[in-house]
Structure 1
Amino acid sequence: MLIRAIDGLNELVGRTVAVLALGFAAVIIYDVFMRYALNSPTRWAFDVSKQMFGFYFILLGGYALRHQSHVRVDLLTEHMRPGTRRWVDIAGYLIFFFPFAWIFFRRSWDFAARSWAQGETTYGAVQLPVYPLKAAMCVAAGLLLLQGICEVLKLLFNRTESPHGT
């Protein structure tokens, strides 16, 4: 049940954030149209598109891990028996993934809290708030940690669930 809940959460976040790509593309198309067709460039579109891309990129980490889309180095494990490979994968999560994800979470928490407290904004022509994006980093780190726990549980319980939820 926990595995299904975490997978479902990251699936929902991933599919929801993917819609942001449409908004991201719309802002860029609008800016290009305004700049080249009407000779009236926007002052805000570049900053908005950078922030939208930041949200899009950072929040998809858990979704990517759920679908095994992260970069993996399988040179050592590709010739191992499945049982051995499982334990090597678990060790990799414990030694490398969890410490990195925990540091990412703690540092992004501090980073977001400081930005939020200062009311940090961009330095562009239009001063957009930065703290929502920095808070999204913390949320993304939490989602990544949860998905890592889920992946280890799948390995421990020998669950070979399809990454597409079937």
Structure 2
Amino acid sequence: MIVRAIDGLNEVVGRIVSVLAIIFAGIIIYDVVLRYVFSEPTRWAFDVSKQLFGFYFILLGGYALRHNAHVRVDILTERLGRGGQRVADLLGYVIFFFPFAWVFLTRSWDFASTSWAQGEVTYGAIQMPVYPLKMAMCVAAGLLLLQGVAEVLKIILDRQEVSE
């Protein structure tokens, strides 16, 4: 039940965020056409596309982990049996993943709350607020940590990835 809820949450977030790729591409195409066809570049497209790309990139971590779309080095574990692979995966989560995810969550929270308190904005042609993107980092860290919990539960329960 918990695994399915976490998988479902990251699936929904991943699908919603993937729409940003379409918006992101549209803004870039719009700016390129204005810049090179009409010699009228926008003042805002570069800053907006950077922000959207930041949201897009950072918020898909949990979704990528859910779908095994991350980089794995299986040189050693490919020779182990199923039980050995499970132990290696569990150790990898406990030794590397969870400490990283915890540091990512706590540091991004500090980073975002400081930005929010200062009302931080970009320094480009238009001054866009930066704190929403920094808050997205904190949300992404939370989603990644939750998905890690789901993946560990799958290993412990000896379940394959729940695909939908």
TM-score between both structures, scaled by the size of structure 2:
0.99
TM superposition shift of 1:126: 0.3
Partner of 1:116: 116
Partner of 2:129: 129
Task: Extract structure 1 runs of 4+ deviating beyond 2 A.
Answer: none
Indicate yes or no: 2:64 matched with 1:64.
yes
Distance in 1 (CA, whole Å) between partners of 2:67 and 2:160 is 12
Distance in 2 (CA, whole Å) between partners of 1:23 and 1:45 is 11
DSSP 3-state at the match of 2:78 = coil
Distance in 1 (CA, whole Å) between partners of 2:76 and 2:109 is 35
Indicate yes or no: 2:79 matched with 1:79.
yes
Partner of 1:154: 154
CA-to-aligned-CA distance 1:7-35 (integer Å, 9 cap, x gap): 00000000000000000001000100110
DSSP 3-state at the match of 2:91 = helix
What RMSD, in angstroms, separates the aligned Cα atoms of the two structures?
0.6
Alignment of 1:88-127 (within 5 A): 88-127=88-127
TM superposition shift of 1:84: 1.1
Distance in 2 (CA, whole Å) between partners of 1:19 and 1:44 is 20
Indicate yes or no: 2:54 matched with 1:54.
yes
TM superposition shift of 1:161: 2.9
Give 5+ residue unaligned stretches, structure 1: none
DSSP 3-state at the match of 2:126 = coil
Distance in 1 (CA, whole Å) between partners of 2:107 and 2:123 is 23
CA-to-aligned-CA distance 1:93-122 (integer Å, 9 cap, x gap): 000000000000000000000000000000
Give 5+ residue unaligned stretches, structure 2: none
Identity %: 70
Partner of 1:16: 16
TM superposition shift of 1:160: 1.0
Alignment of 1:27-42 (within 5 A): 27-42=27-42
TM-score between both structures, scaled by the size of structure 1:
0.97
What is the count of residue pairs matched by the alignment? 164
Distance in 1 (CA, whole Å) between partners of 2:11 and 2:68 is 13
